[in-house]
Amino acid sequence: MNDLEQSPVAGKRVILGLSGGVDSAVAAILLQRAGADVHALHMTNWEDDDGYCTAADDLQDARLVCERLDIPLHHVNFSQQYRDQVFEYFLDEYRRGRTPNPDVLCNREIKFGVFRDYAKRLGGDLLATGHYAIATVVDGCGALFKGADKGKDQSYFLHAVSAQALAETVFPLGELQKDEVRQIARDSGLPVHDKKDSTGICFIGERPFREFLSSYLPAKPGPMLTPGGEEIGTHQGLMYYTLGQRQGLGIGGRDNASEAPWYVVAKNLDDNALIVAQGEHEMLFSNGLIGTDTSWIGTPPAGLNDDFRCTAKVRYRQTDQDCVIRLLDDNRVEVRFDQRQKAVAPGQFVVFYRDRRCLGGAVIDEIG
């Protein structure tokens, strides 16, 4: 399934989201080779000049790529929209003691929302990005499939993008492996061919996470308790911990305790208590979950209160897990897994698949 073959681009104006990294730069090359009229659009989403975010360097790299490929570069600032539609959600989830994933919201609200609208004003027929995924049309409806590179597939982060947007999108890297992308960049003399992949969230950058979050949300230390209620330490603020976390607890060795590692197994917001347990404790595992704010790519695969089988993952790097899903009212879903799942974190996303096709996903709200 070649994405450029499924969505012919020859003679069409394609507005490419050019980040300044190697992936979107190679996407530009492939679009040019396919005969597209490529225009690059670089967006700025964060303006705080504190030395951690690389936005200025990325814009300069985007300029160098466009000069090398002789394509026009447009620049747009979506910082306010990002703060309103993504960052405030990010902070609100942490206030609730949850662990959000802003990349999903950034794709839906920014890259395939206001960015897509801006691309249309530039005369774009299609939108393109350097994501490792495949967008195509199935039975007249936009559809999303996993990228061929299992280690780089980004369909998890794209599951909330609408079918309408996917029908007008091209992912040129969908059938490529990462090493192939870097080879194309080297062979083409791109200045970013060996640029390190970006990781994490731009507005946090390389700084310590706690340092960043504490500048927006006041930390409230509290007791660190075992499931039996024994106080064994003090946490620095519930927002700094996620379920299943092992590192950074500061518990160390304890008298009359085994050497098994300690894990975060629950948060008690009412008492501001962090619950920790040793080893593969029962509280680390769950048989299912309730998801809210469900996003389906196209028509839901079942009716209200109907069951259907598929696979799902509750974190980006997880392998697909067999499950049964039931659609509930208020845009909720109930997910029951064939095998118990470890460290399912409210605020993260559960994403549904059938083979390589991504069906959609939901925000993890309750676990059980």
**Alpha carbon distance 313, 315 (integer Å):** 6
Question: Which residues are registered as beta bridge partners of 223?
Answer: 234
Report the range of poorest mean pLDDT among 158-162, 197-201, 329-333.
197-201
Residue listed under structure tokens 């960015």 = 115
SS3 breakdown of the chain: % helix, strand, coil, rounded to 5? 25, 30, 45
> Which residues are known catalytic residues?
106, 202
The widest CA-to-CA distance across the chain, in whole angstroms, is 73
pLDDT band at 1, cuts 50/70/90?
very low
Residue 294 contacts residue 362 (beta carbons within 8 Å): yes
**Alpha carbon distance 340, 13 (integer Å):** 48
**What DSSP line would sit under 100-120, residue for residue?**
--HHHHIIIIIIIIIHHHHHH
Tens-place pLDDT, residues 88-123: 999 999 999 999 999 999 999 999 999 999 999 999
What pLDDT is recorded for position 4?
Answer: 63
**Alpha carbon distance 35, 308 (integer Å):** 42
The token duo for 206 is: 């390389």
Tens-place pLDDT, residues 285-339: 999 999 999 999 999 999 998 999 999 999 999 999 999 999 999 999 999 999 9
The token duo for 86 is: 């993504």
What pLDDT is recorded for position 205?
Answer: 66
Residue 325 contacts residue 294 (beta carbons within 8 Å): no
Domains, the chain, ordered by start:
3-187 (3.40.50.620), 219-279 (2.30.30.280), 283-367 (2.40.30.10)
Residue 349 contacts residue 277 (beta carbons within 8 Å): no
What pLDDT is recorded for position 5?
Answer: 61
CA 309, 314, 319, 321 torsion: positive or negative? negative
**Alpha carbon distance 59, 61 (integer Å):** 5
**Sheet containing 273-278, strands listed edge to edge, beginning at the edge strand earlier in sequence:** 231-235, 222-225, 273-278, 262-268
pLDDT of 364 above 50:
yes
Give, rounded to a whole angstrom, the gap between the first and last alpha carbons of the chain. 38
User: What is the rounded average pLDDT for all residues in the chain?
Assistant: 92
What pLDDT is recorded for position 224?
Answer: 97
The model carries a pTM of: 0.93
**Alpha carbon distance 342, 308 (integer Å):** 23
* HSE, side-chain direction, 13 A CA sphere, residue 237: 14
What pLDDT is recorded for position 234?
Answer: 95
Tens-place pLDDT, residues 230-269: 999 999 999 999 999 998 898 866 666 677 899 999 999 9
pLDDT band at 67, cuts 50/70/90?
very high
Region for 140 from its dihedrals, namely left if φ exceeds 0, alpha if ψ lies in -120 to 50, beta otherwise: left
Report the range of poorest mean pLDDT among 10-19, 191-200, 264-273, 300-309.
191-200
